[in-house]
Each structure stands twice: as structure tokens, then as C-alpha cells.
């Protein structure tokens, strides 16, 4: 049940409303009640020295339910989300079976209603069975509550199908989120193509595999006037293409993951802790692959200047055995919800991104991309009457990543043992405490 909660003494930082000052924030009855409030009898969360911000929104989460509950389920996935400061997650449809029809969406929403710690918004498949052949019933999916369409995990490879999907979805005001990859250029590639892939003898995926697909999607968005959202942008060329398209008014938006913002392909070779011994870290196998330093720098720049609209985790939990194997055989993906904030804070501590911008790209940014405010008024803000989705952050708290303690079933992180500076102290979702840091950080 939602509580009366007073966040006392924190730096209230809400990019959407422009508030940035030390204040007491009161939530009540599942809504933001007042700023500078005092409230007798309310539960008090001591936020002194911390930042109080809107709860994070993740446009790209693999909750794996239905069908792949051995990797993750709605309960564990949303618990992980809460621990990562996320109060809204958008569930990707690459489940078993795929979320390509109304009844599955209703099932997911019903399940989420009883077992989710945070808000779950479903993304419907673009094509039936995500097979890339025929459109799914997008109208029915929209009516069931989908907030976007995607065949994520795979690109919508047929350009005509993509065109039709964009056109058709625009009738419901919903975008298509595309996993941009030209499979004929990817070939057998398993990591970024460059000196690291040569060193490891692993087949490379050229940046062009992503850039060619991004260019195609931009052309289709321009042709149709519809909104395309580019999932997990990872290369300098893709970022440049989005920047140029936005400049001429194309309806294109983009997201970047915390790992593409911070880790390079060298992580595959040497691990996130560095070193000189080769580790072939399967936990760093992800699609799109971790890229070069120049690509990472381009993503940071694009996130700062707004070319990239938001951060999305692409949280992709897997079972241990799917990663404890040869690199070529390993599943793609990183369990990212619980490390997202701390990892992104690296860029802030390196003074390459203001904290205010980071918060915006985790809150207002994603809400704007999917126009979530029309569905959940006030989402991603701390405006009065907005949903009581609040996160308390300690930007300077240092902690060591221990995958064994993840709430997510997916322990697959290349960051195990890494030190992160920036922690989620508490998460309140819809007026309920969804997460409170068990150890005092600071």
C-alpha cells in the first residue's frame, strides 16, 4: 500500500520541472504531494547528502516472462529494477512465445499487477513470432496497452516490412524500436571488429553492420514521417547519422546503454578490471558488441548534446550455463539494471556529463521518447500530482559489484568485482518503498 513518505533534507533534482535545491519532498496517496512540506506521522527517509530525483524509466528491459523464467521473471526483474532506481520498465517482447498478441500482453500486465515491484509497460512485437515476415496485430497490441513495437533481439530485416510497420504504428502514435543490425555484415561475428578481435581470434562485427541499418531506418522514417527509435546505439557513425537526421527534422530518437557508454571491446579481452591476461569474458558479450574507445566517446558526446535521447539498460539476464562456455557459444547480454546508475556515474565523475543531464536521460528523456506522459501523467517528473516514483541517490557512495547479491536471476555482468561510485539508496515506486539500501553507503 502506498505510504505517506517524507524525503528529508535531500537535493531535489528534477530536470523536467527545473527544480534543483535542498528541500523536503512529501509523497502521499501514491502521488507527489508537496515540496517544502512538513508532515507529522509520515515515514521519513533521510536524504541528507543525497539527490532526490524522479524514479528512472528503462525503455529496454528483458523481463523474460513468459517462457524464459529460468533467466528472469517479472518479480525478480522488477526487484532488480527497484534496486537500480528504476520505477518503470518497458518489457521487450522476445519472450517464449513472443509478445505478439493481445492475450500475452494481457497476461503480462495481469502478472505485473500482482508481482511487479515497479511499473511494467509492455512493448509488442512488430512481426508475428518476431519472425520478420508478417505484421503482428499492432492495433490490438496497442489497445492492450503496448507503448511501442519492437522485434528486439533481431532487426526488422525486411525493409518493406519495416516501412509498413512504421506507417501502421503511426496510426496509434506509437514508434517502432529497431535493433539496428545488418545480419549479412555481422556474419559469424561475435564482438566488435578491430585490433581486439584480431588479438583474440574472434570474428568481428564491423561498425558498418549497425550504421547501414540505422541509415536505412532513418530513410524509412523520413519517407513515412513516422517515428523510429534506435535501440542501443553503439557506434560513432550511427550517432552521427542520428544527429544529422534530427537536424533535418526526421522523427528519430535513440537510446544508449550504460555499458556502451563506458566499456570498450577491450573488456572482452581483459575484463572490466583490466589486466594483461586474456579472459575472453563471455559476460562482456553483448549485441551490439562493446565498441572502440572512439565509439564510446562519441556516445558520451551524443548523450550530452541530446542526439541520444535517453539511457536504456538493455537488461538481458541469462543463466550461468549460458555464459560459462566458449565465447562463440555464449548468449548475448548483460544483466544491467542494478549497475546502471553506478556505471553511468563514471562518466559524470569524469566530468564528461553533468549529473543533471544524466538524471534527465534516465527520467524525462525516456518519458519523452515514448510520450509516456500521455498515458501516465507526470511520469518522469516530481511535479505535484505526478506518480510517487522517487529515487534517492548517493552520487559519491562507492561500492563493489557482487553479482551473487543481484536481485536479478541474471548474474551475467562483466563488472563483478568492479568498484562503482554512485549508489541507489532508496526507490519508491507508486508511493511504496520498493528498495532501500541494506547497508548504509557513504
Partner 1 sequence: MTSVRATEARAAEAPPFATGSSDSVAWQRRHLLDLDDFTVDELELVMQTADTMKEVLSREVPRVPALRGTTILTLFYENSTRTRSSFELAGKVLGADVINIAASSSSVAKGESLVDTVKTLQAVGADVIIMRHSRSGAPYLAARVVESSIINAGDGLHAHPTQALLDLHTMRASFGSVRGRKVVIVGDALHSRVARSNLWSLTALGAEVTLCAPPTLIPRGLDAGEGTLPPVHVDTDLDRAIEGADVVMALRMQLERMNGGFVPGMREYSRMYQVNASRLARAKPGALVLHPGPMNEGVEISHEVAHGLQSHVEEQVANGVAVRMAVLWLVTQHGRRRAATETE
Give, to the nearest 10 degrees, the angle between helix 355-362 and helix 293-305.
Answer: 80
Judged by CB under 8 A, the stretch of 172-180, 199-207, 374-382, 392-400 that binds partner 1 is: 199-207
Q: Where are the alpha helices (DSSP H) in 225-272?
A: 236-247, 258-262, 266-270
List phi, psi (to 5°) of 283: -70, -10
Q: Contact with partner 1 (CB under 8 A): which of 18, 41, 201, 274?
A: 201
> Toward partner 1, which CB reaches closer, 216 or 285?
285
x/- contact string, 179-198, with partner 1 (CB under 8 A)?
--------------xxxxxx
Q: How far is the CB of 419 from partner 1 (least distance, A)?
A: 23
Q: Of 17, 6, 3, 7, which Cα lies nearest the Cα of 363?
A: 17
> Toward partner 1, which CB reaches closer, 78 or 283?
283
**Catalytic position from the list 152, 182, 314, 394:** 314
Q: Is 22 in the site for partner 1 (CB under 8 A)?
A: no
Judged by CB under 8 A, the stretch of 23-31, 171-179, 317-325, 353-361 that binds partner 1 is: 317-325
Pairing of strands 228-230, 204-205: unpaired
Half-sphere exposure of residue 260: CA atoms within 13 angstroms, side-chain side: 33
C-alpha–C-alpha distance, residues 315 and 80, integer Å: 10
Q: Is 199 in the site for partner 1 (CB under 8 A)?
A: yes
363-402 burial, b if ≥16 CB within 10 A, otherwise e?
bbbbbbbbebbeebebbbbbbeebbbbbbbbbbebebebe
**How long a stretch of residues is the chain?**
442
Q: Contact with partner 1 (CB under 8 A): which of 174, 202, 263, 425?
A: 202
x/- contact string, 276-295, with partner 1 (CB under 8 A)?
xxxxx---------------
Half-sphere exposure of residue 298: CA atoms within 13 angstroms, side-chain side: 17
Q: Contact with partner 1 (CB under 8 A): which of 96, 158, 328, 398?
A: 328
Asked about 46 being catalytic, the answer comes back as: no
Q: How far is the CB of 324 from partner 1 (least distance, A)?
A: 6
Q: Is 38 in the site for partner 1 (CB under 8 A)?
A: no
Binding site for partner 1 (CB under 8 A): 193-204, 276-280, 321, 324-329
Residues with catalytic roles: 314
Amino acid at each position: 500500500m502506498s505510504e505517506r513518505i517524507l524525503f528529508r533534507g535531500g537535493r531535489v533534482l528534477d530536470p523536467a520541472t527545473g527544480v534543483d535545491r535542498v528541500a523536503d519532498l512529501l509523497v502521499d496517496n501514491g502521488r507527489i504531494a508537496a515540496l517544502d512540506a512538513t508532515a507529522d506521522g509520515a515515514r521519513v527517509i533521510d536524504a541528507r547528502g543525497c539527490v532526490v530525483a524522479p524514479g528512472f524509466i528503462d525503455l529496454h528491459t528483458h523481463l523474460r516472462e513468459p517462457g524464459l523464467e529460468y533467466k528472469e521473471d517479472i518479480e525478480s526483474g522488477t526487484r532488480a529494477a527497484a534496486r537500480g532506481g528504476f520505477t518503470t520498465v518497458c518489457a521487450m517482447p522476445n519472450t517464449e512465445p513472443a509478445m505478439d498478441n493481445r492475450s500475452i500482453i494481457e497476461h503480462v500486465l495481469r502478472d505485473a499487477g500482482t508481482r511487479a515491484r515497479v511499473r511494467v509497460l509492455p512493448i509488442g512485437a512488430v512481426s508475428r513470432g518476431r519472425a520478420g515476415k508478417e505484421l503482428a496485430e499492432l492495433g490490438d497490441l496497442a489497445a492492450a496497452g503496448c507503448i511501442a513495437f519492437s522485434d528486439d533481439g533481431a532487426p526488422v530485416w525486411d525493409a518493406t516490412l519495416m516501412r509498413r510497420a512504421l506507417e501502421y504504428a503511426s496510426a496509434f502514435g506509437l514508434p517502432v524500436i529497431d535493433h539496428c543490425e545488418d545480419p549479412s555484415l555481422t556474419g559469424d561475428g561475435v564482438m566488435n571488429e578491430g585490433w581486439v578481435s584480431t588479438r583474440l581470434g574472434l570474428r568481428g562485427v564491423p561498425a558498418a553492420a549497425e550504421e547501414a541499418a540505422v541509415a536505412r531506418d532513418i530513410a524509412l522514417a523520413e519517407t513515412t514521417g513516422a517515428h523510429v527509435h534506435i535501440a542501443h546505439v553503439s557506434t560513432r557513425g550511427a550517432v552521427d547519422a542520428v544527429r544529422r537526421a534530427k537536424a533535418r527534422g526526421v522523427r528519430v530518437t535513440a537510446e544508449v546503454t550504460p555499458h556502451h557508454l563506458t566499456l570498450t571491446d577491450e573488456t572482452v579481452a581483459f575484463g572490466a578490471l583490466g589486466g594483461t591476461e586474456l579472459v575472453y569474458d563471455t559476460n562482456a558479450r553483448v549485441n551490439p558488441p562493446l565498441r572502440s574507445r572512439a565509439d564510446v566517446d562519441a556516445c558520451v558526446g551524443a548523450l550530452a548534446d541530446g542526439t541520444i535521447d535517453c539511457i536504456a539498460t538493455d537488461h538481458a539476464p541469462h543463466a550461468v550455463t549460458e555464459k560459462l562456455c566458449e565465447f562463440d557459444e555464449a548468449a548475448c547480454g548483460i544483466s544491467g539494471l542494478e549497475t546502471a546508475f553506478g556505471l553511468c556515474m563514471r562518466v559524470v565523475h569524469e566530468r564528461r556529463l553533468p549529473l543533471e543531464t544524466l538524471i534527465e536521460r534516465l527520467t524525462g528523456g525516456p518519458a519523452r521518447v515514448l510520450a509516456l506522459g500521455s498515458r501516465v501523467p507526470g511520469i518522469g517528473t516530481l511535479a505535484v500530482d505526478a506518480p510517487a516514483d522517487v529515487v534517492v541517490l548517493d552520487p559519491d557512495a562507492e561500492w563493489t559489484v557482487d553479482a551473487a547479491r543481484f536481485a536479478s536471476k541474471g548474474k551475467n555482468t562483466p563488472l563483478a568485482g568492479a568498484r562503482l561510485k554512485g549508489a541507489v539508496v532508496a526507490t519508491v515506486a507508486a508511493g511504496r518503498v520498493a528498495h532501500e539500501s541494506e547497508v548504509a553507503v557513504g
